[in-house]
Every structure is written in C-alpha cells, then in structure tokens.
C-alpha cells in the first residue's frame, strides 16, 4: 500500500512533528522541570511545535510509563497543586541518542534536498 502525504496546511509538518515531539518535550524538560501547561505554552512559542494539552497529556503519560520522565506534585500559589515533570537519566540517554541520529538524518535530508538527488 502506498501512503502519500498531500501537500497542504499542516500535513507534512504534522508528520514530521509526530516523530519528534517527544524529544522536543524531553529537551524542554532537560532545561528544568515543568508542569504540562508550561510545556504547552513554551512549545507554542516555537514555530511548528504548537500543541495542545490534549496532545501533550497522553504523551507525558507514555513518557512516564517508559521511565523517560518522572513526576512530583508541588503546591501552586495560583490554585491546586501541579504535577511537575522532569527528565530521568534514561530520558537524557534517549534524547542524546535522538540528537545524534537527528544530526545525521537532518544532514542527509538537507543534502538530498539541495542536490535534487545527485551526489
């Protein structure tokens, strides 16, 4: 079966984001621990990474089950306690591996796009 992404608003970008989103979350958590809405807000400031809580919460749950993030509850001056997420050492290792592979992959794609397939 052939799968084609039809050019249009968000189609190609959505496919690229799907594979990279969890690593973008891990990269933000490497900076400091955050609660989910803070992640949504931070990502919305980055072109192409806009996301919603409806996308982020299931992703954070999966990252937690996989041992890539851990959580703690902290009191909030602005309402009920918040669940804060922080990257684990396993999460840092996964992010480091992705970073290395992304560099190679991105470089290869850039070279191919620039050359039109000729090497």
84-93, pLDDT tens digit by residue? 999 999 999 9
Answer positive or negative: Cα dihedral of 68, 105, 50, 52.
negative
Q: At what angle do helices 36-44 and 53-65 cross, to 10 degrees?
A: 120
30-58, pLDDT tens digit by residue? 999 999 999 999 999 998 888 889 999 99
CATH topology of domain 18-114: Arc Repressor Mutant, subunit A (1.10.10)
Where along the chain do its domains lie?
18-114
Cα 64 to Cα 85: distance, rounded to the nearest angstrom: 9
Average pLDDT, the chain: 88
11-34, pLDDT tens digit by residue? 887 788 888 999 999 999 999 999
Residue that has been written with the tokens 């400091």 in this structure: 32
pTM of the model as a whole: 0.83
Q: How many CB atoms within 10 Å of residue 60?
A: 22
């Amino acid at each position: 079966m052939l799968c084609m992404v039809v050019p249009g608003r968000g189609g190609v970008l959505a496919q690229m984001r799907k594979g990279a989103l969890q690593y973008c979350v891990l990269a933000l958590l490497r900076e400091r621990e955050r609660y989910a809405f803070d992640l949504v807000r931070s990502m919305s400031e980055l072109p192409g990474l806009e996301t919603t809580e409806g996308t982020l919460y299931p992703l954070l749950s999966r990252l937690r089950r996989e041992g890539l993030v851990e959580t703690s509850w902290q009191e909030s001056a602005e309402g009920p306690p918040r669940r804060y997420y922080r990257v684990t050492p396993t999460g840092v290792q996964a992010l480091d591996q992705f970073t290395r592979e992304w560099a190679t992959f991105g470089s290869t794609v850039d070279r191919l796009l620039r050359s039109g397939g000729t090497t």
